[in-house]
Structure 1
Amino acid sequence: MKDEKITLTAEATLFYSPGDESAFFTWLKAMIFVHSIGGSGRYLDIVVSPAAMNEYDLRELLALFYRYGVDMKQLSVFSEGPEFKFLRDRRGYWYKHVFE
């Protein structure tokens, strides 16, 4: 996963106001490991660079996906390496959403 990019998809994300939508994109764009954001219609592709991520970054991504109802199962790809071993902690609020 070193230099490769991973595409995550947010499908039919529900925003409750223009400010809510703005907050989502502001949060997403502030993540330095996000390489690009694009898509059309119901699908938003979020291309990330895992090599540029640390534990704090993945925790921010988990929080964003959780808050906005983005499918968190796709984040299980990060559990393969030792750098994000916290992701496999069954006590984490994210665990069921990512692995079950």
Structure 2
Amino acid sequence: MKLMIDLNSFYSAGDERRFFEGLGDNPAVSGYRGIAHQLQVSIVQKHLNHDTLRELIALFYRYQIPIAPLAPLAENKRFAWLADERWYWHQSMIT
């Protein structure tokens, strides 16, 4: 699964480093690369579980990256909890 995300500006080199470390530390992320002004994030779905997905959502949310590219996962029974509007990311996912 490939996600295309728009990156916002980072506040410092350390801030940018921590973002990419967060991506690299997530077992569900197999890689990433910049394409124009976007970042393509490669996800290995067999490594995607509740914890790895929550970490990815938290990382995106922390860096104000819309999580709308993750919305199709909510159609999967295993990730139906993503669509629950009580979660803090819900609004970000549907916009």
Provide the aligned C-alpha RMSD in A: 1.3
Q: Which residue number in structure 1 is paired with residue 47 of structure 2?
A: 52
Q: Which residue number in structure 1 is paired with residue 69 of structure 2?
A: 74
For the Cα contact (< 8 Å) 1:13–1:42, is it kept in 2? no
- 1:71 to partner: Cα distance: 2.1
For the Cα contact (< 8 Å) 1:13–1:69, is it kept in 2? yes
The alignment's TM-score, normalised by the length of structure 1, stands at: 0.86
Gaps in structure 1 of 5+ consecutive residues: 1-5
Gaps in structure 2 of 5+ consecutive residues: none
The alignment's TM-score, normalised by the length of structure 2, stands at: 0.90
For the Cα contact (< 8 Å) 1:38–1:45, is it kept in 2? yes
Q: Which residue number in structure 1 is paired with residue 16 of structure 2?
A: 21
Matched, 1:98 2:93: yes
% identity of equivalent residues: 34
Q: Where do 4+ consecutive residues of structure 1 move more than 3 Å?
A: none
Number of aligned residues: 95
Question: Which region of structure 1 is more displaced relative to structure 2, 17-26 or 75-84?
Answer: 75-84
Question: Counterpart amino acid of 1:70?
Answer: I
- 1:29 to partner: Cα distance: 0.1
For the Cα contact (< 8 Å) 2:5–2:69, is it kept in 1? no
